[in-house]
Structure 1
Amino acid sequence: MADHVEERESIIEKIVEKIHDHDSSSSSDSDDDKKPSDHSSFEAKVFRLFGREKPVHKVLGGGKSADVLLWRDRKVSATVVGFATAVWVLFELLEYHLLTLACHVLIFLLASLFLWANVSTFINKPAPEIPEFHISDDIILGVVSTLRIEINFAIGVLRDILSGRDFKKFVAVVAGLWLISVVGSWSNFLTLAYIVFVLLQTVPYLYEKHEDRVDPFAEKAFIELKKQYVVFDEKVLSKIPIGPLKGNKAA
């Protein structure tokens, strides 16, 4: 009888141990399930500038142009910056004119190729083969389609502004034009284009390198701007009549 009782107690202990093992494994599985979700939710809450969800390289297109802007190939990027700097120095500092330069370059190329084609028989060197080049219909249609989309978007924005339905766009466009006019008064178009080019070659690279520091600062700046805009909206924008009056519609 005592042996039978001991056997029953040992069986009960084994059952209890299995239950505890199952509970601990299920709890560990649930913890493991929660961890990636918590991690993903944490990553989802990280503020990124302009609300981007992709890396900077993908945002810039992910191709060779993005590699140049982010200095993935330093030789190519340095060559591009050096060429732009040479053009700016040539036209701005040396006061060389674009039309004059284009004509001189074409004269040099045409004269060199023409002389090479005629002298090749005497120097026993073959003349360079001029490849056949033509612009396909797909390229023209692609460019026209892209321009059509951008022009239609600009026309839609202009229509919203002129109809008085979107005061925010009106303020943004006026502020942008005013800012461009102020910056344009500081220098001529070539210098401004060169400055913009240099910024495009430096700002994305520096941002990608220090994005962990820039994004928190940008988040604080956006929060402060939203607060200031709410105050400006309550005190100024909400008091401005927008669109046609209801009385005119009824009439």
Structure 2
Amino acid sequence: MSENEAHTSLVDKITEKLHDYSSSSDSDGEVPSNVLRIKKHLFGRTESVHNVLGCGKAADLVLWRHKQVSVAIFAGVTVMWLLFEWIGYHLITFLCHFLILVLAVSFVWSNAASLINWSPPKFPEVILPEGIFLQVAQSVRHEINEAFITFCYISSGKDALAFVKVIAGLWLLSVVGSWFSFLTLSYIVFVLAHTVPVIYEAYQDPIDSTWYKFMDQSKSHLTKISVAIKEAIKKIPHHPKQE
């Protein structure tokens, strides 16, 4: 087979495949399963939600992969918020009462174990490793240094857009902070962090589709507004300068 015949045969095969695809799309109205669809996700994300969150135990808890543990943490934080915010319980008072209860139960259990033939409580040997504190300290140090570098860069006047964004963000945060106490605001952030990711993971396709439709419509409206403003400016009569 010559080179021209081989080329002609390849073109014929490609044309036949395209014809089959177009006929199947026209008849059924659906894309065949062997054709890959490129899906657009929020923020240009290509990985799964679990991978974006770090693929660790924290991601499992946020996405409710271990439902019993996630429910226990959520319920515990909610009870703490109710105690401190609604009932007016104070943190030092709570810690003291909690330690009193633990010490009293352990003391009574230890002394009564020999009388009623119970095994005494076994206290675990807790030794905190030094590496954890060093890692936390290094992470905090890194974040503080990055914050100082960012602050110096923005305040130097080199990026006016970043300056406006930071000022707007701080002002918005100050307004939101005036609505809630620090504890309530922290609890709201906790609830959002433990509900939004799992809801988005379950319904990410319709959420992504709705988001990009909204963005496309917004860009279309903004373009129309921009064109209308330019047309209105052009219609404004300009008087020539008198010498």
| TM-score, normalised via structure 1 length | 0.69
CA distance in 1, matches of 2:60, 2:99: 31
Higher relative contact order (CA 8 A, sep 6+): 1
Is the Cα–Cα contact under 8 Å of residues 57 and 70 in structure 1 kept in the other structure?
yes
Amino acid paired to 1:153: E
Closer/same/farther in 2, CA of residues 99 and 147 from structure 1, 3 Å limit: same
Is the Cα–Cα contact under 8 Å of residues 69 and 204 in structure 1 kept in the other structure?
yes
Closer/same/farther in 2, CA of residues 103 and 26 from structure 1, 3 Å limit: farther
Q: Deviation string for 1:55-76 (max 9, x for gaps)?
A: 0111112233222222333333
Return the structure number with greater helix share: 1
CA distance in 1, matches of 2:131, 2:79: 34
Closer/same/farther in 2, CA of residues 67 and 92 from structure 1, 3 Å limit: same
**Which of 142, 157, 163 in structure 2 is aligned with 1:164?**
157
Closer/same/farther in 2, CA of residues 226 and 54 from structure 1, 3 Å limit: farther
**SS of equivalent residue, structure 1 residue 143:** helix
Whether 2:154 is the aligned partner of 1:137: answer no
**In the alignment, which residue of structure 1 is the partner of 2:241?**
none
Structure 2 segments unaligned to the other structure (5+ residues): 22-33, 227-243
CA distance in 1, matches of 2:185, 2:193: 12
1:1-251 alignment, distance < 5 Å: 23=9, 27=13, 42-43=37-38, 46-221=39-214, 224=218
RMSD, aligned CA:
3.3
CA distance in 1, matches of 2:46, 2:55: 14
Amino acid paired to 2:191: V
Shift of 1:26: 9.7
Question: In the comparison of the two structures, how many residue pairs are matched?
Answer: 204
Q: Deviation string for 1:146-201 (max 9, x for gaps)?
A: 11221121111101012111222222221221111111111211111111111112
- Taking only the aligned residue pairs, the percentage that are identical comes to 42
Higher gyration radius (CA): 1
CA distance in 1, matches of 2:220, 2:162: 16
CA distance in 2, matches of 1:149, 1:39: 46
Structure 1 segments unaligned to the other structure (5+ residues): 1-14, 232-251
Closer/same/farther in 2, CA of residues 221 and 145 from structure 1, 3 Å limit: farther
Q: Deviation string for 1:63-106 (max 9, x for gaps)?
A: 33222222333333322222222122212221111111110000
Is the Cα–Cα contact under 8 Å of residues 157 and 169 in structure 1 kept in the other structure?
no
Q: Deviation string for 1:14-69 (max 9, x for gaps)?
A: x89xx88x9479947xx69xx9xx956x52xx322122211011111223322222
